[in-house]
Structure formats: structure tokens, C-alpha cells
Amino acid sequence: MGRAQPGRDDLGSAYLQAHPRGMEWLQLEATVASLTFEQLARLAETRVDDRPLRHARRRVVASLEFAHGRIASRWVRWADTFGLPHPPLTAEPADILDHPYGLIEDDEIGIYVAGLLPVYDAALAILAGDHAKPADYELLSASWRRVCLPSRFTPTTLYGPHTQDALTALSAACGFPRSCLTRMVRACRAISTADWDPAADTVHQAALRLGYPYRGKCLYWEAVARAETAMDESPTRPELVHALWGYAAVQAFAGQLPAEAATLLASPYRAGGRTPPPA
């Protein structure tokens, strides 16, 4: 089944509520979950002269020194989400922030990375908030705003029409008693990797068919954050992450998954005893 990546949720709701661009960050997250390959190609085409961007990046990163750890944690998550080489977890936060920009020189993935860097730039610009010069914010976020906005999706619909069902299931788990969470962990451990992995892959295949290839991974990271909150530990037990993600994925991708796969993915969460039996 793999394992949950380390790191307590780096941009929790309290932080974003107090942030001057918190709502804009939520919109960025919605566009990441709904990012298409066509948009990636258009984002890559916006790259012309990187020198002004590099200067703006350095200024913004310097202004964000107080939040390097928070943002570096997001970079680690996005490396997994986008299928990029993983930055060393032991590296300094500033080095992790530089990591995706160095990948542009890789002949095998450089074009793909070129489409993603405007997303990273927009993240820096947004999180810098009032610490960034207006001109740097405009420059770093311009490509993302031009290609990805306005979006069909909002923070409440970022996983499609069943977003709220999925997010409600994740939020509910944060209030479950430890005994319930323990039953979920045990139920997930009882499922072999040979059975779980193909079922989980049906989620990612469904996301591809719908045209939003990163939805499954984005939802997985929602599950990581909620599992850490539920257990009050970071990193937390990967089996709990998978149990929460599996059930949430079945909700988010309702009608898109094979019935057998959906039943398996939902079973560890149901084993906690807090949901009605399947119809």
C-alpha cells in the first residue's frame, strides 16, 4: 500500500483564515486538483525569459523566511502529487524550495516541469501575502492566473460534484474515538497489497478518464492531514491514511469506480463502525 509521507499539515485552516491571501490559496489548491494536461502545456508555453522570475523568486523566498518550513512541506507533497523526483527530506527548507526549479534542466522531464513551475511560483506569490512587493506578486502569479482562472471548480467543488461527501467523511474521522481509528487500521492491515493496490489504481485511472489526473493524489494528501489530526501524531499510521483516503475516494468518484474496487476501498473505514452498511 505504500506509506504516508511525513509532515503535519503545513497550511491548516487557522493559518489560512489569518492569511491575507488565504482564500486565494484555497483557489490555487482547487486549480491543482483540477489541473489538466492541456493547461500544463499552456503553462509551459508561457515561459519566455526566466531571469525576471528568478529575481522575483529570490526576493519572495527571502521575505518568506519565517514560513520556509510550511512551504517546504507543501513542496514535498507536490513532488508526490505531480510524480516529480522527491527532494531530500533531510535538506534545509530553503534547499527544498529550490528543488523543483532545478528539475527544469533534466532533459527527460524538463518540458513537464516547465508547465508546473508557474504553479510553484503562484504558491510563493500567494503565501508571501503582504511581505511580497506587488510587482513580484503580479509577475509570479501571472501565468497561473492567465491559464487556470477563472476555474470551473471552487474550494467546495475541487473534487467534482461529490466533493462535500468526501470531505465530510474525512472531517468526521477527526472526531472518531481512538478505538474506532484502531479498528480501521487493523482492517486496512488485513488487506494485502496485491488486493489494495489495483483497487487504489482504479481511482487514479478514473481521474485520468475525467481529465483531472491529480485529483486522486490531492485527495490522498487531504487524508494525510486528517489522519494526523485524528491521531494527533505526525507522521501517523499509513494504514489510517489509506483507510480515510479509500472511503473518501469512493465518495468523490461515486459511479466512476468498479463496484468490487469501491467495496474494498471503503471497507477499512466502514470497519470503524461509524458508517451505515453499504446498500
Specify the DSSP class assigned to residue 277. P
Cell 478518464 -> residue: 209
* Cβ atoms of residues 62 and 74 within 8 Å: no
- In tens, the pLDDT along 74-118 reads 898 999 999 999 888 788 888 889 999 999 989 889 999 999 999
Q: Quick one: pLDDT band at residue 278, thresholds 50, 70, 90?
A: low
* Cβ atoms of residues 146 and 122 within 8 Å: no
pLDDT of residue 69: 77
What average pLDDT does range 211-216 have in this prediction? 98
DSSP letters, 209-234, are HHT-TTHHHHHHHHHHHHHHHHHT-S
Question: Is residue 268 scored above 50 in pLDDT?
Answer: yes
Long-range contacts at 84-93 (CB < 8 A, ≥ 24 apart): 84/109, 84/113, 84/116, 85/109, 89/6, 93/68, 93/69
What average pLDDT does range 133-150 have in this prediction? 95
Q: What is the mean pLDDT of the chain?
A: 91
Specify the DSSP class assigned to residue 103. G
CA–CA dist 141, 190 (Å, integer): 46
Question: 3-state DSSP call for residue 69?
Answer: helix
pLDDT of residue 212: 98
Ranking 10-14, 105-109, 197-201 by mean pLDDT, the lowest is 10-14
pLDDT of residue 66: 65
Q: What is the largest CA-CA distance in the chain?
A: 58
Amino acid at 120: Y
The domains of the chain are located at 35-148, 163-270
Q: Quick one: pLDDT band at residue 239, thresholds 50, 70, 90?
A: very high
On whether the pTM is more than 0.85, the answer is yes
CA–CA dist 222, 166 (Å, integer): 10
Question: Is residue 210 scored above 50 in pLDDT?
Answer: yes
pLDDT of residue 19: 77
Q: Quick one: pLDDT band at residue 3, thresholds 50, 70, 90?
A: very low
CA–CA dist 279, 277 (Å, integer): 6
